[in-house]
Structure 1
Amino acid sequence: MRSASIKDLLSGKDLLQEVTINGWVRTFRSNRFIALNDGSTLNNIQCVVDFEKIDEAVLKQINTGSALRISGTLVESQGRGQSVEIQVNNIYVHGNADPEVYPIQPKKHSLEFLREKAHLRARTNTFSAVMRVRSALAFAVHQYFRDNGFYYFHAPIITGSDAEGAGEMFRVTTLNEKNPPLTENGDVDHKEDFFGKETNLTVSGQLEAEAYAMALGKVYTFGPTFRAENSNTSRHLAEFWMIEPEMAFFDLNDNMDLAEDFIKSVISYILEHCQEDLQFLEKRLLDEEKTKPQAERSEMALIEKLKFISENNFKRVTYTEAIDILRNSKPNKKKKFKYPINEWGADLQSEHERYLVEKHFKCPVILFDYPAKIKAFYMRLNEDGKTVRAMDILFPGIGEIVGGSQREERLDVLKEKMAALDIPEEELWWYLDLRKFGTAVHSGFGLGFERLVLFATGMGNIRDVIPFPRTPQNAEF
């Protein structure tokens, strides 16, 4: 008999039929009541053992964490808390779990402890819910772009360019680390390396995606990126997934329209398809909030916050307007900002972004036309000569979630900007070619997928929304 999913069985549509399920034991009470979970749903199904049908030797093998195949009859439950249960006719033990050493016992575990058991933490309610929401969001991303005429583009993971210009990249090499070949000047001779040049793991697929947008019209990347930033904050990972659409013939306004519509679409998708998991995560978050001081508690519950995004128009504000608002705000005047705003040109911090969203406008915000000095070389210079056609989308509780821009399509301006930043033309000759052969207005943005999952699940640390986090001094599993 084909195995059914617990999610389907809990709907009750197979009532009074013989069913077979596979899953892992969450609890085993009174040597008779097995709570089984297969990952298809937050809820367990209760399996009631008939001692006359099941050998005692089999029951002795069953512990929390054991993997079982159970066959029996699906009936209305006689107990409270569930609508159906299985009257067990047969149990097969796929694999036992020694209760003396199995770490995921039916009790509350700290998130820090579970990070040390990342290979098993998805067996808890919290992490199974987070990973189901993550999966749904990933599906919604692909569905949105497919429905809107985009082509899925696979950007290279190994690259010879630093798209962000930050220099915080992981080197890729096959040279002997103890005795590398050297040039006459004593430097490492990268011409002897595998690729014949210095190469790194990518921080962004944007530059390559631009090339394909200028041929296919609209493309998007959705893949792993890497940043060697020695940061241990709750918002940073060394390996993370990026969503990066690039669109030919899109100006900044088109770009902002697309980004807003995209975010609303994927958030609406999980509100429709992940209700059970979101309700559980909301309750978990509310319980956690009760332990915090009143001033640190969120003003909105999780589902309310998601609807706040999907149902509100995003407010569009220039960087210059935002600076004026922040400079004249009470927190700034009373010196409550950690980073005071004194003059135009300041790089906004999360505290400033959250103030604009949560206190001043009380809706999602898109900031645009940033100072050129604090943005990347590839962003289109405005006519004022001091700002670029950049945009960031700001969310409550998290600050910036999307960064994008209209790209600089003018060859002469792009060359001038690269020269000012000491970016050698020979390193990006192909990128400059795009401005020589059929250049056109084009735009794009980047969204860190884990930040989106963090926002959607209400989790407090980005390490808890990716299966196996990679952070400084940590590449376990």
Structure 2
Amino acid sequence: MERSNVKELLQCESFLQAVHVKGWVRTFRGNRFIALNDGSTINNIQCVVDFENTDENILKRITTGAAVSITGTLVESQGKGQRVEINVTNLDILGDSSSEEYPIQPKKHSFEFLRKNAHLRVRTNTFSAVMRVRSALSFAVHQYFQQNGFFYVNTPIITGSDAEGAGEMFKVTNFDINKAPVDENEDIDYSQDFFGKETNLTVSGQLEAETYAMALGKVYTFGPTFRAENSNTTRHLAEFWMIEPEVAFNDLDANMDLSEDFIKHVLKYVLENCQDDLNFLNDRLINEDKTKPQAERSDMSLLEKLHFVVDNNFKRVSYTEAIDILRNSKPNKKKKFKFPINEWGADLQSEHERFLVEKHFKCPVILFDYPANIKAFYMRLNEDGKTVRAMDVLFPGIGEMVGGSQREERLDVLKQKMAELDIEEKEMWWYLDTRKFGTAVHSGFGLGFERLVLFTTGMGNIRDVIPFPRTPQNADF
């Protein structure tokens, strides 16, 4: 008999039909009721065992976490909380689970405990919901770009350039670290290494994507990136995924249009296709909020935040206007900001971004035209000589979600900015070539995928929205 999944059976309208299902036991009550889940949905299907006609040895092996194969009749449920259930006619144990050793018991576990068991945590309701939402978001990302004429480009993971100039990169080498050759200055001689130069794991595919945009028009990357920042905050990972579109002939206004349209598409997709998971995660957050002091509770539920982004037009505000708003705001005047805003040029923090979104404009905000000295070298310099055509998209509860810019297409200006930052032209010759041969206005942005999943699921720690988090002192699994 063909196997059905739990999601299909829970939606089925035809009763008294023979069905076959496989999954893992979530609970087994009274030697009679199995709550079975196969990962297709957050919801379990109840399987009613005829214990009088079931081998006692089989009953003893039906424990939490065990994998089972069940054949039976789909019937209308007589109990509360479910519409259908399966009257079991045949049950086989596919894989035993020791009830004494299995760590994911049917009780509340701390997220810290579950991180230590990341290989099993997806068997909980919370993490299975998060990972199904993550999967749906990933599909929606590709769907949007493919439907809008973008080409998917796989940019290199091993690179000789530091796109952001941050310097916090993981080195890639073929040297025996105890016997690395050195030059006359006693520095490691990378000319003898595998690639003949110093190489690292990439922090961004943007620069390479730009070169492809200048031939294919519209491209995007969606892949793993790495940063060797020794940070243990709830917002940092050493390995994370980035979404980075680049578009030839787009100026900053078109870039802002693209970012808003893209974000609304992917969030609409999950709202329409992940209703059960989002309802569960929404309820989880509501219940969690009840345990917090009033001052720490969220102003919006998870679903309200998602609709806040999808249903509102994004407000476009210059950095200069935002600084004036923040400088004159009540929290700033009453010294309630952790980082007071005193003058133009300040690098905005999450508290400032959230104030603009949640309190002042009460809609998502796109800030643009930032001071040049707090942004990357490749952003187009404005005519005032002190700001660049940069943009950040700000969300409620999280602050910055997207960072992007119109890229500097003028060769002379780009060279000057690189010189000011001591970026060697010989290391970036290929990037400069795109400004020599058919240069044109172009723009793009970067969106950290885990940050998007964090916002969409309402989770509080970025380590809980990626299957196996890579953080300082942690590379298990």
Same fold (TM over 0.5): yes
What corresponds to 1:245 in structure 2?
245
Q: Note the C-alpha offset of 1:174.
A: 1.0
Question: Displacement, 1:320?
Answer: 0.3
| Cα deviation, residue 12, structure 1 | 2.4
Corresponding letter in the other structure for 2:345: G
Secondary structure of the 1:112 match is helix
AA of the residue aligned to 2:229 = E
Q: Which residue of 2 aligns with 1:301?
A: 301
Residue matched to 1:355? 355
Which residue in the other structure is 2:456 paired with?
456
Equivalents in 1 of 2:223, 2:337: separation in Å? Answer: 36
Shift of the alpha carbon at 1:335? Answer: 1.1
Look up the equivalent residue of 1:147 and give its one-letter code: Q
- SS of 1:140's equivalent in the other structure is helix
**TM-score when normalising by structure 2:** 0.99
Show the counterpart of 1:46. 46
- 1:325 maps to amino acid: I
User: SS in structure 1 opposite 2:61?
Assistant: coil
What does residue 264 of structure 1 align with?
Answer: 264
> Displacement, 1:13?
2.9
Q: Give the alignment of 1:393-408 within 5 angstroms.
A: 393-408=393-408
Other-structure match for 2:320 = 320
Contact 2:169 2:227 in 1 (8 A): yes
**Contact residue 76 and residue 83 of structure 2 kept, 8 A:** yes
Q: Secondary structure at the match of 1:42?
A: coil
Q: How does 1:190-209 map to 2 (within 5 A)?
A: 190-209=190-209
Gaps of 5+ in 1: none
SS in 1 for 2:225: strand
| Partner SS for 2:255 | helix
The residue correspondences of 1:322-337 to structure 2 (distance < 5 A) are 322-337=322-337
- Give, as a single letter, the amino acid of the residue that structure 1 aligns with 2:222: F
Contact 1:317–1:367 (Cα < 8 Å) also in 2:
yes
Contact 2:46 2:86 in 1 (8 A): yes
Structure 1: which amino acid aligns with 2:325?
I
Q: Which residue of 2 aligns with 1:470?
A: 470
Shift in Å at residue 57 of structure 1?
1.6
Please list the CA deviations of residues 53-76 of structure 1 after superposition, one character each: whole Å capped at 9, or x if unmatched. 422221111100000010011011
- SS of 2:51's equivalent in the other structure is coil
Deviation readout 1:304-327 (Å, 9 max, x if unpaired): 110010010000000000001111
Please say if residues 54 and 89 of structure 1, whose CA atoms lie closer than 8 Å, have aligned partners that are also in contact.
no
Which moved further from structure 2: 317-326 or 293-302? Answer: 293-302
Counterpart Cα distance in 2 of 1:120 and 1:24: 12
Partner of 1:114: 114
TM-superposed deviation, 1:297 = 1.0
Paired amino acid for 1:224? P
2:141 counterpart of 1:141:
yes
What are the residue-to-residue correspondences of 1:356-395 with 2, within 5 Å? 356-395=356-395
For residues 78 and 460 of structure 1, the distance between their equivalents in structure 2, rounded to whole angstroms, comes to: 38
Alignment-derived partner of residue 235 in structure 2: 235
Partners of 2:263 and 2:423 in 1: CA distance: 33
Q: 1 CA distance for matches of 2:14 and 2:200?
A: 54
Is the CA contact 2:25–2:63 (under 8 Å) kept in the aligned structure 1?
yes
State the match for 1:126 in structure 2. 126
* Structure 1 partner of 2:31: 31
| Partner Cα separation in structure 2 for residue 217 and residue 27 of structure 1 | 54
CA contact (8 A) 1:326 1:341 kept: yes
Q: Which residue of 2 aligns with 1:289?
A: 289
CA contact (8 A) 1:28 1:35 kept: yes
Q: Secondary structure at the match of 1:60?
A: helix
Say if 1:53 and 1:89, in contact at 8 Å, map to a contact too. Answer: no
Q: CA deviation at 1:52?
A: 4.7
1:320-345 CA-to-partner distances (Å, cap 9, x unmatched) read 00001111111111111111111111
Aligned to 2:344: 344
- TM-score after normalising by structure 1: 0.99
In structure 2, distance between residues paired with 1:348 and 1:354: 10
Say whether residues 1:277 and 2:283 are aligned partners.
no
Contact 2:51 2:59 in 1 (8 A): no
For residues 48 and 446 of structure 1, the distance between their equivalents in structure 2, rounded to whole angstroms, comes to 50
Report percent identity of matched pairs: 78
Q: Is the contact made by 2:370 and 2:389 (CA closer than 8 Å) also made in structure 1?
A: yes
Pairing 1:219–2:223 present: no
**Aligned partners of 1:438, 1:294: CA distance in 2, in Å?**
58
Counterpart of 2:366, as a letter, is: I
Q: Which amino acid aligns with 2:238?
A: A
Q: Aligned partners of 1:289 and 1:117: how far apart in 2?
A: 25
Alignment of 1:147-186 (within 5 A): 147-186=147-186
Q: Which residue in 1 is equivalent to 2:82?
A: 82
- Give the aligned residue type for 1:118: A
Q: Could you tell me how far apart the structure 2 residues matched to 1:303 and 1:140 are?
A: 18
Which segment is superposed worse, 293-302 or 416-425? 293-302
Measure, in 1, the Cα distance between the counterparts of 2:435 and 2:15: 65
Q: Deviations over 1:399-419 (max 9, x none)?
A: 000000000000000000000
Measure how far apart 1:452 and its partner are.
0.5
User: 1:467 & 1:66 partners in 2: Cα distance?
Assistant: 22
SS in 2 for 1:440: coil
Question: How far apart, in 1, do the equivalents of 2:49 and 2:474 lie?
Answer: 44
Query: Is 1:3 matched up with 2:3?
Result: yes
Name the SS for the 1:26 alignment partner.
strand
Q: Distance in 2 between matches of 1:231 and 1:85?
A: 48
Deviations 1:97-116 (Å, cap 9, x if unpaired)? 10011000001111111111
**Per-residue displacement from partner, 1:339-388 (whole Å, max 9, x unpaired)?**
11111111001111011101111110000000000000000000000000
